[in-house]
Structure 1
Amino acid sequence: MDGYKVPALGIVDSEHRLIGWITAVELVGANVSTKVRDVMANAPTPLQADITIRDAAGELVKSDVDYLPVVKGDRYFAIVTARSLLGKLRESYDPMTELPWSDALREWGVDKLEHNAEIAVLFIDLDHFGSFNKQYGHVIGDRVIQRAAEHIKTKIDPTQDILVRYGGDEFAIATIRPREEAEELMNRLTDYGEGLAVDHIGPPVTFTIGIYGGKRTKMRHDIHIPSNVDDLVNLASRDCLAKKEGFGMAVVQVPQRESENAPVAVATTPQSPDSDTGGPAASAVPTERLTQATVPEPDPVVSEEIVSEAVVEDVVEPVVETQAPVAQTEAPVIETIQADDEPGSLTYVVVKYAGKLAVGVSPKMGHSRAESIAIATGKALEKTFAESRVTIDSVNIERAGSTELVTARVRALRDGVERDITAQAEANGDLDDTVGLVVISAFLAE
């Protein structure tokens, strides 16, 4: 498994039907002469190879697992992992709001214009969201963005409109409605109604809407259609910016933090300076099939064969300086980090603990690279340790010459006890890995 970088091997019978599988857990302590059928585990319900990537990702989330077997008919085909799906999902789909990214609007608009339809674009921007995010924390900020997305979804008609998440706190709608009807849609978006009238902290978050297009009265000739779509978006964005002095076009109420289950995003005892970080439904579904995202792996092991070798490497616990003692137990380790600096990207962190992998994912919206890595690490830890919660209050990177010191303030709920911990470590190697390890260290601190 290590050689092929797969988390499990499927076990098949003589007709290539899946009858079980083995992971590193089953191999721990197994005698090299033990037969596969004697140590294999029951395989979970497999996915069919012709389902969409989004549906496959949904099944992984629903089952709370990081990988599942895939079959074609009744024959074993491959294993799909959360890691293999991320690359495809990040191209077109925002998991936090369940909306497509801006590329989907461009493709939709090009298609409509090529069929001689007229389109208008509504550009929606949350007001003062950066300062709100800093005051109340990214967790509450993410919930506000989700509520805004839910509200906008209820107002559009998938047969005429496409809604996308355009950026950190920005959304866009393209519509084939005439201009007058597009303006009516804009007015309906300001009617947030009882659906968003929930308890909140601080002032309500408002958003401003710009609009452009929907007025053409004659045929187009000799234009570059993709550029025309881009121009409509840019002009709607400028109209939105011009309206920024007149707020209150729609309101999203912020949830309370008094509930026991509501995470708090502000540390009570800061020990270091805060970092200054400040289509239609069908169109949102990636149409690539699961066969394009499965993990290449060796031929499955037939149950009559014998495991020839099972080597389990010792887990090396990372040494991290912290401001609180760390429990001397086997520690989770960072297996993989994928992050970049694009505003629309996803950051994912794979944590390995007790032979199992857990994947944490964080949209890089309004977060620095280090914050996004820290949040994704926290989510992976929440999946690794039952009934735990990790809230990242801040991540700060101080540079002095060639030295980089990573400081993370973390609120961690573990074993029924909530702790506020500040952990630090010097980045002697990979800075991304150090951020993840500091979060792990804070989570384990007593």
Structure 2
Amino acid sequence: MKKSTFWITILIICSLLLNWLFWSPIASAFTQNQELLLQSWRLVNQSYIDNSFNNQNWWSLRQQFLKRHLYNREETYKTIDEMLATLNEPFTRLLRPEQYRNLQVSTAGELSGVGLQININPETGNLEVVAPLRGSPAESAGIKAGDCILKIDGVDTTALTLDEAATKMRGQSGTQVSLTIRPCHAQKTVHYINITREHISLSPVFAELDSQIQDIPIGYIRLNQFSANAAQDVTDAIAKLEQQGTKAYILDLRNNPGGLLQAGIEVARLWLNDGTIVHTVNRQGIQDSFSAFGSALTKAPLAVLVNGKTASASEILAGALQDNSRGILVGEKTFGKGLIQSLFELPGGAGLAVTVAKYETPNHRDIHRLGILPDEVIPQDPIGHRQIGTDADLQYQAAINLLTSAIVMAHAS
């Protein structure tokens, strides 16, 4: 009887010790980090477009990474990065709290920084300038589309992700950042530039009336990004240009890296009376479609300018206008990003971007890694913002010629 009581007492003590360890601060912190890893795994498991997870056992990876000792949040983030890297798909990624906040600010339409749109060239790995924002500190400093950013505050950009590079260039208004720049297409002299950050209102639209052709005023609208205010800003631009008597439009999507899917759909509806805008396809092969429904703001002839940095939501819009015969595409083949990400908020302020679907144009063209070929292919060397719309802008001039010819022919008939 005494032996039995002894062993029962030992078991109770062991149970109490295990409970104490489980609820101790160290174990509790470990459990929170482990849960963050598990939540990231679950989000990918539930919604990632490729249900083979890059032809690997996703459950087995879960068990493998859960064996890690995750003593702090940064170790957990690095482990999640490593787990997501096994998918070999760069658009599914973890956004640390500052990166996540910056993304929210960017899509909301304002930020504090230097005013650069950037991208990593998939072939060279270089951090490239897509375009400086009009009136931004970067534009004032002379940075141009097609420039390579070699270093940010002395840090080699080849060691940075796209989000990390963007985060380093953003910061409090009035502070400075140092950039090492050279043209990507030529081995020219490297420039060292100190830029003072400013608060930047990210209106994605620039619009003006071009009356260089007598009696045929053409409205020019440049859309830089599909942020939350894109559709309203394009609406305002069309209304203003209509009042000025425009007879045709040029919609410039060159160097537009995309943005919010819904913003792309809303902008397409401004130009289309009806018709499909885009099809989306999830991992089960289930299709959904978004359409226009009779609310086009203008029926005037339209030319759309695109190039190799026209991507994502920009390609959705370009494909919708091309397939519905609403506009003629002019320029160069687009980037070819046909994947859609959903953004999930994680505990502690981080975010997780997960590729959940692919999109197809109204005619069911899958353009991922293929791009959209314009109706009129016009090669164009990189030009600065001040050269847009000038004789140096060959794509713009081609669009002008096509629109004026169409208007003249329509009047003649």
Richer in helix (by share): 2
Shorter-chain TM-score bucket reads under 0.3
Tell me the TM-score normalised to structure 2 length: 0.25
Higher RCO (Cα < 8 Å, 6 or more apart): 1
Choose 1 or 2 for highest CA Rg. 2
Q: TM-score, normalised by structure 1?
A: 0.24
